[in-house]
Amino acid sequence: MVSTSSSDPLRPSDHIDAPDPDRTPGAGGRGGVNQPRLGFVGWLRFVWRQLTSMRTALLLLLLLAIAAVPGSLVPQRSSDPNGVTQYFQENPDLAPVLDSFQMFDVYSSAWFSAVYLLLFISLIGCIIPRTKHHFEALRARPPRTPARLSRLASYTERDLPAGADAATAEAALVDAASRLKRAGYRVERYELHGEASVSAERGYLRETGNLVFHTALLGVLVTVGIGGGFGFAGQRVIVEGQSFVNTLAAFDSFNPGRFFDDAELTPYRLSLNELDAVYETRNADAIGQPTDFTAHVTVEGEGNEPTDGIVKVNEPLRVFGTDVYLLGNGYAPTVTVRNAAGDVVFTDSVPFLPEDANLTSIGVIKVTDGLDEQLGMIGFLYPTQGVLDTGAYTSTYPDLVFPVLTLNVYEGDLGIDDGTPTSVYTLDPTDMEQLTGGDTGVDSLELMPGETAELPGGRGTVTFEDASPGGDAAAAGDFSTSVKRFASFDVHHDPTQGWVLVFAILILAGLMTSLFVPRRRIWVKAVTRPDGRMVLEYAGLARGEDPNLDEAVRAFADAQSTDVPAPSGRADESSKSAT
């Protein structure tokens, strides 16, 4: 198409602005018929050139897009582990097959990694030589003025006034050079075949932006890949009035990065004083929809004064190098179990997991000692109890208006004595005898805050403790604080996420620069026509996408020609009109 010069960006051989390999033999990647046999090094060079070509990059990009799709169709272990478990239950035949293709770990799978690693190797192979070349181009002179400017697509000319001589032309060129310089062009004077000219080039920033964009992409990948290994993420449920210390043992679950050392944990204490949950009460279309969750906490570091803080959704608390997020909440009814003699054998606030929008919650109470046999209870908490047509209970509002706790009691071996780890949220009743609820013929225990019920067979009593400050919610007619709430906190530490943000901003900045800064050349030449007229020739050449080039060349010629006819003495005015 057009000749390229050393100040052009270095591009893969199949880039649209690179020299055409078909026309410049020897420069391209396409092997001709007469190509000599490739040696081992030759093959390596061939493979490398293929890998760093535009076509390969394009293919890998499209492959990457396709490879990312399955991860949105099948639940992923990283983002939805329960979904994976459920998928295995629902598709017992298909799931293991999918699993063997790493379909549940798509984004860390061998095939997904292969695609993006190849893409980034291709990228590195492209940007390193390009960066080197660009540094050289930044110091190079603008290219020589072509012999015939009128051949270029963006071309215009303006007559110099009759009687103009070489001095007028020279003054016009000096003026053009200074105007171009002011407009950010790199300017060079050339004199060819007795024709004086100005050669100017601008928009080196375009290639700089391109390189910054691609390098920053690499930066994000490396920071995420390596930097992520230095952090940790832990989960912990805390009931109102309780606290936890930021140590490994205190977390309910803990995922350290590859390079994370447990000793790096700062042992601060986080106490949950109160969890405020606000639900919509006025808008008839949204009754019971949550509008605010606020966890009021106290943080106390070693040797520091305790400080109060709040954690909200969208407002994490950043303390001692960790970020504390409020990711969930619910009710933790306080239950006390006494044996037949009236001795307390169990008392605790047990977090119940919310099952629906109105916070019907399920929890498990395990009484391991103090009774003849171990006792397990599956409890349902209805913050505002309602009765369905079938007679089943349900919750009609997520806040505590008429809280009811029902308990199905099981007796037998809880299966925890042999040391097998079991979830505190589930009860396996297979080896146990059901005492209340279900098919037993005995009604489930049904309690409101402050009430006590007898366990069947004189085994003892169960009390649903009233957590209200007054201690008697029923008498006060206000149950709003009668059941404690819990907050589910995520504690994160990621020392590199600031760097990811920096690279992300560079990506955006580099992208905008590389797409919007026009790379263009402008030449101005003073030419004497055969009839003795003197004209100034203006020509522009786009280096890459540049929709406004014609306009720019014409505008430049117009701006200059309004001043040029005057003798050199009016240079002052011309600079004024240019600003």
Partner 1 sequence: MTFTLDEISILCVYSAMAVYAIAFIAYAIDLARRGAAAAKAADASADAAPVADAARVGVGAAAGARAAAGAAGASAMSDATDGGAGRRGRWQRATELGATVEYGRSPALRVAVAMTVVAWLLHLAGAILRGIAAERVPWANMYEFALTGTLLVTTVYLVVIVTSKQDLRFLGTFISGLVLVLLGVATVNFYVSVVPLPPALQSAWLIIHVFVASAAVGVFALGFALSVVQLMQARREAIVASAESVKRSFLATLPSSNALENLAYRLNIVGFILWTFTLIAGAVWAEKAWGRYWGWDTKEVWTFIIWVVYAGYIHARATRGWRGSRSAWLAIIGFSTVLFNFTVVNLFFKGLHAYSGL
Which residues of the shown chain bind partner 1 in the complex (CB under 8 A)?
14-18, 20, 54-55, 57-58, 61-62, 64-65, 68-69, 71-72, 75-76, 78-80, 83, 106-107, 153-157, 224, 233, 280, 283, 285-286, 289-293, 312-316, 323, 325, 327, 490, 492, 497, 500-501, 504-505, 507-508, 511-512, 515, 545, 547, 550, 554, 558
**Min separation Cβ 253 and partner 1, Å:** 13
Smallest distance, partner 1 to C-beta of residue 210, A: 10
Contacts 24+ apart (CB under 8 A), 493-497: 493/231, 493/232, 493/233, 493/321, 493/322, 493/323, 494/227, 494/228, 494/230, 494/231, 494/323, 495/227, 495/230, 495/231, 495/321, 496/223, 496/224, 496/226, 496/227, 496/228, 496/230, 496/231, 497/227
Q: What is the amino acid identity at position 439?
A: D
Q: Name which of 372 and 545 has its Cβ closer to partner 1.
A: 545
Q: Using the 8-state DSSP alphabet, how is residue 477 labeled?
A: T
CB of 516 to partner 1, least distance (A): 8
Q: Which residue from 169, 177, 168 is spatially nearest to 198, judged by alpha carbons?
A: 177
Using DSSP, state whether 521 is helix, strand or coil: strand
C-alpha to C-alpha distance for 555 and 377, rounded to whole angstroms: 85
Residue among 293, 328, 270 at smallest CA distance from 488: 328
Which residue's CB is nearer to partner 1, number 157 or number 413?
157
Minimum CB separation of residue 291 from partner 1 in Å reads 5
**Minimum CB distance to partner 1, residue 220 (Å):** 10
- Tell me the three state secondary structure of residue 265: coil
Long-range contacts of 571-577 (CB under 8 A, 24+ apart): 571/171, 571/175, 574/175, 574/179, 575/178
Of the two residues 327 and 362, which places its CB atom closer to partner 1 in the complex?
327
Q: Mind giving me the DSSP string for 438-465?
A: GGGSSPPEEE-TT-EEEEGGGTEEEEE-
Coil/strand/helix, residue 522: strand
Smallest separation, CB 576 to partner 1 (Å): 22
C-beta closer to partner 1: residue 62 or 147: 62
- Sequence-ordered strand ranges (E) for 178-230: 186-192, 195-202
Q: Please give the structure tokens belonging to residue 220.
A: 């994000």
Q: For residue 160, count other CB atoms closer than 10 A to its CB.
A: 20
Measured distance CA(514)–CA(492) in Å, rounded: 36
Looking at the Cβ atoms of 155 and 331, the one nearer to partner 1 is: 155
| Encoded tokens for 65 | 């897009």
For the beta carbon of residue 409, count every other beta carbon within 10 angstroms.
Answer: 27
What are the phi and psi torsion angles at 110 (to 5°)? -60, -40
Asked if residue 384 lies in contact with residue 358, where contact means CB atoms within 8 angstroms, the answer is: yes
CA atoms within 13 A on the CB side of 233: 6
Q: Measured from the CB atom, is 71 or 363 closer to partner 1?
A: 71
Which is nearer to partner 1, 11 or 179 (by Cβ)? 11
Shortest reach from residue 185's CB to partner 1, in Å: 21
Residue 158 or 269: the one with the smaller Cβ distance to partner 1 is 158
Task: Rank residues 104 and 352 by Cβ distance to partner 1 and give the closer one.
Answer: 104
Angstrom distance (rounded) from CA 228 to CA 260: 10
In the complex, what is the shortest distance from the CB of residue 12 to partner 1, in angstroms, rounded to a whole number? 8
Shortest Å, Cβ 504 to partner 1: 5
CB 309 within 8 A of CB 330: no
Shortest distance, position 356 Cβ to partner 1, whole Å: 14
Alpha helices in 19-105 (DSSP H): 40-51, 54-68, 70-73, 81-90, 94-100
Q: Which is nearer to partner 1, 492 or 570 (CB)?
A: 492
C-alpha 319/C-alpha 313 separation (Å) is 16
DSSP state of 334: E
If the CB atoms of residues 314 and 420 are measured against partner 1, the closer one turns out to be: 314
Nearer to partner 1, 513 or 574 (CB): 513
**In this structure, what token pair is assigned to residue 568?**
């050199």
Shortest Cβ distance from residue 315 to partner 1 (Å)?
A: 7
| Of 165 and 285, CB closest to partner 1 | 285
Rounded Cα distance, 534 and 426, in Å: 95
What's the closest the beta carbon of residue 435 comes to partner 1, in angstroms?
A: 38
Cα–Cα dist 179/253, whole Å: 67
Question: Using CA atoms, how far apart are residues 260 and 258, in angstroms rounded to an integer?
Answer: 6
CB of 485 to partner 1, least distance (A): 15
Could you tell me the smallest distance in angstroms from the CB atom of residue 545 to partner 1?
A: 7
Nearer to partner 1, 479 or 538 (CB): 538
Residue 91 to residues 83, 87, 340, 347, Cα–Cα distance (Å): 12, 6, 48, 41
